[in-house]
Amino acid sequence: MVEHLHRAGTSPETLADPMRPRRYRIAHTRQDTRDTFTLELEPTEGPPLAYRPGQFTMLDAFGVGEVPISISGDPARGGPLEQTIRDVGVVTHALITAPVGTLLGVRGPFGTSWDVSLGAGGDVVFIAGGIGFPPLRPALLELISERDRYGRVVLLYGVRTPEDIIFGDELRSWAHDHGIVVGVTVDNGQHAWRGKVGLVTQLIPRAGFDPRNTTAFVCGPEVMMRFSAAALADRGVRPSRIRMSMERNMKCGVGLCGHCQLRELFVCVDGPVLTYDRLAPLLSSREL
Ligand SMILES: Cc1cc2nc3c(=O)[nH]c(=O)nc-3n(C[C@H](O)[C@H](O)[C@H](O)COP(=O)(O)OP(=O)(O)OC[C@H]3O[C@@H](n4cnc5c(N)ncnc54)[C@H](O)[C@@H]3O)c2cc1C
Ligand code: FES
C-alpha cells in the first residue's frame, strides 16, 4: 500500500496513517447551482492540506458515511480546502446541508495528478462535463499562474442547462484576462440562452488547436469522456497526451479494499487521472 501511495506522490502526513481522518471544520458553504455547493474546510489543527491538481480526499460526514471528492481549489493559495459537491445521495446531501462549524473527517489527498505542466510549450485543451469541471479547476489555475509557458488554451464545457454552469464569473475572467478560449454548450437551452446547444463533443472538431502539439485534460461522465477522447484522437491528439479522471466506487482510497478496481488498475492509487492509451482497452470492453 505504501508503495502505491509513494508512487502517487502522497504527502508524508497521509503516509503516516492514510486511514485516519483529520478533523476539518466547515468555514463556509457557497451554493454554486441548484444542486452543487462548494465547501471551504479548515483543519482544526496543523497546516492546511498540500495537494496536487487532480487529487481527491475521502470526506467523512461523521455518522453518515465517507465519499471521494476531488479538490477544486487553487493549489498555490494555501487557504481553506475547497471541495465542490453535487447533491446526488445520502452522504453528499449530508455534506452540503451541514451547517457552518460542523466537523468533518478528511483523509488524503489521494491519487494521481493532472500534471498540467506536461502541456507546457504546446496547446492545451480542457474538456469538462457537468460536475467534472471542479476537478479540472486546480489544473486551470496552475496553468494560468504560468500562462506564458503554454500556447493556445481551450476550455470546452458542457452542462445540462444554463443554470447548471459552475464558476461562470471565473470563465468570463479567464477568457478576458488570460486569453483562454472558452466554449460552453448546454443540453437544453431555453428562454434567454443565446449560446450553443448540443453535446460538448460537438465543439471539438471546430476548436482551434494544433492536435500534433496538444495535451488534453478531460473530466465528466464516463460516456462523455470516452467520446471526447475518441474525438480528440480522431483529430490527431496522441492518446498518451489525453488524460482523463475516472470515477469508481471507493472505500479505502489507498489500494486496500478493491472497490475501485478496473481490471488490473486500482483507480484510487493508479488514478483517478489516467492516460487514454492506458484506459482505451478497458473502456471499450464495457457497454455504454
Ligand atoms: C475520484 C473521485 C472524485 C470525485 N469527485 C467528485 C467531486 O469533485 N464532486 C462530486 O460531487 N462528486 C465527486 N465524485 C462522486 C462522488 O464520490 C459521489 O457522488 C458520491 O460518492 C455519492 O455518494 P452519496 O452517498 O451522496 O450517494 P449514493 O446514495 O451512494 O448514490 C447516489 C447516486 O450516485 C451514484 N454514485 C455513488 N457513488 C458514486 C461514485 N463514486 N461515482 C459515481 N457515481 C456514484 C450512485 O450510483 C447513485 O446513482 C467523485 C468520485 C470519485 C471516485
Ligand atoms: S478504494 Fe479501496 S482499493 Fe481503491
Residue 286 CB partners (closer than 8 Å, separation 6+): none
CA distance 117 to 114: 9
For the record, the C-alpha cell of 78 comes out as: 494555501
Domains of the chain by start residue, with CATH:
2-110 (2.40.30.10), 116-283 (3.40.50.80)
Reduced to 3 states (helix: H, G, I; strand: E, B; else coil), residue 149 is helix
Work out which ligand 1 atom sits closest to the CA atom of 93.
Answer: 26
For strands 214-219 and 273-275, give the pairing: unpaired
Instruction: Find where cell 460526514 sits.
Output: 61
Q: Is 268 in the pocket of ligand 2 (CB under 6 A)?
A: yes
The radius of gyration computed from the CA coordinates of the chain, to the nearest angstrom, equals 18
CA distance 32 to 252: 29
* CA nearest neighbour of 259 among 269, 267, 249, 268: 249
Residue 237 CB partners (closer than 8 Å, separation 6+): 125, 211, 214, 216
Residue 140 CB partners (closer than 8 Å, separation 6+): 116, 126, 155, 174, 180
For the chain, residues with pLDDT lower than 70 are 1-13, 284-288
Expressed in angstroms and rounded, the spacing between residue 69 Cα and the centre of ligand 2 is 14
List phi, psi (to 5°) of 252.
Answer: -90, -35
- Specify the pLDDT at position 288: 35
CA distance 52 to 68: 15
CA distance 144 to 71: 17
Type of residue at 210: D
Residues 141-157 have pLDDT tens digits of 999 999 999 999 999 99
Expressed in angstroms and rounded, the spacing between residue 85 Cα and the centre of ligand 1 is 9
End-to-end C-alpha distance for the chain, whole angstroms? 32
The answer to whether 272 touches 244, Cβ cutoff 8 Å, is: no
Helix (H) or strand (E) holding 257: none
- Specify the pLDDT at position 188: 83
- Specify the pLDDT at position 78: 82
The residue whose CA has the least distance to atom 40 of ligand 1 is 249
Residue 249 CB partners (closer than 8 Å, separation 6+): 259, 260
The answer to whether 282 touches 265, Cβ cutoff 8 Å, is: yes
- Specify the pLDDT at position 115: 97
Query: Do you know the residue count of the chain?
Result: 288
* Ligand located closest to 56 CA: 1
- Specify the pLDDT at position 5: 66
- Specify the pLDDT at position 287: 41
* Ligand located closest to 19 CA: 2
